[in-house]
DNA sequence: TGACTGACGCCGG
DNA sequence: CCCGGCGCCAGTC
């Protein structure tokens, strides 16, 4: 499949975030990069916007920026949950090199 | 149309 | 490590 509609792209993002296993995290950029492979698009900003608007129903706390910063406006919440899952933290930030996760499949449906 | 706005990312100071 | 600037893209005014 090539390009997707915004609505579908939104679903792809949410579905991928749901697949992030506990104790692991993904960056906005990594999500965009992965989806670029399956949908032909790439934009960390778009991922951030989608998470801000529709991320309430998924493990949003497992999504952080490339610096390991947790979701702004929910630092307490996110850090709390991440710590409970065993995500390595350093000064309130996620240690990406250790906690970063990336899907091994090349399909999303499943 | 064109300007403004973000749950981003990389670089330089 | 923090801050500012620029590029990026889709949505909104």
The full set of domain ranges for chain A reads 6-99
| Residue numbers in A 18-47, CB below 7 Å of strand C | 41, 43-46
Q: What is the pLDDT along chain A (110 residues), one digit of tens a residue?
A: 545 677 889 999 999 999 999 999 999 999 999 998 887 777 999 999 999 999 999 999 999 999 999 999 999 999 999 999 999 999 999 999 999 999 987 555 55
Quick one: pLDDT at residue A73? 93
**C-alpha distances in angstroms, A85 versus A22, A23, A33?**
6, 5, 25
Å: A99 CA to C13 C1': 40
Bases of chain B within 7 A of a CB of the protein: 6-10
From the candidate CATH numbers 1.10.10.10, 2.60.40.10, 3.30.530.20, 3.40.50.880, the one assigned to the domain spanning A6-99: 1.10.10.10
Quick one: pLDDT at residue A6? 79
Å: A51 CA to B4 C1': 21
Quick one: pLDDT at residue A3? 54
Report the alpha-carbon distance of residue A72 to residue A52 in Å, rounded: 10
Handedness of CA A77, A34, A18, A46 (dihedral sign): positive
Quick one: pLDDT at residue A108? 56
Please check whether residue A43 is in contact with residue A12, taking contact to mean a CB–CB distance below 8 angstroms: no
Quick one: pLDDT at residue A39? 78
Quick one: pLDDT at residue A4? 67
pTM exceeds 0.75 for this model: yes
Q: How far apart are the first and last CA of chain A?
A: 16
The answer to whether some atom of strand B lies closer than 7 Å to the beta carbon of A44 is yes
């Amino acid at each position: 499949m090539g390009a997707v509609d915004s609505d579908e792209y939104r679903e792809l993002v949410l579905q991928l975030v749901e697949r992030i296993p506990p104790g692991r995290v993904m960056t906005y950029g990594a999500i965009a990069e992965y989806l670029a492979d399956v949908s032909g698009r790439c934009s960390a900003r778009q991922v951030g916007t989608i998470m801000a608007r529709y991320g309430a129903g998924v493990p949003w706390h497992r999504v952080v920026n490339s610096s390991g910063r947790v979701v702004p406006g929910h630092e307490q919440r996110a850090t709390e949950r991440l710590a409970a899952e065993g995500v390595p933290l350093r000064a309130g930030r996620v240690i990406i090199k250790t906690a970063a996760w990336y899907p091994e499949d090349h399909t999303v449906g499943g």
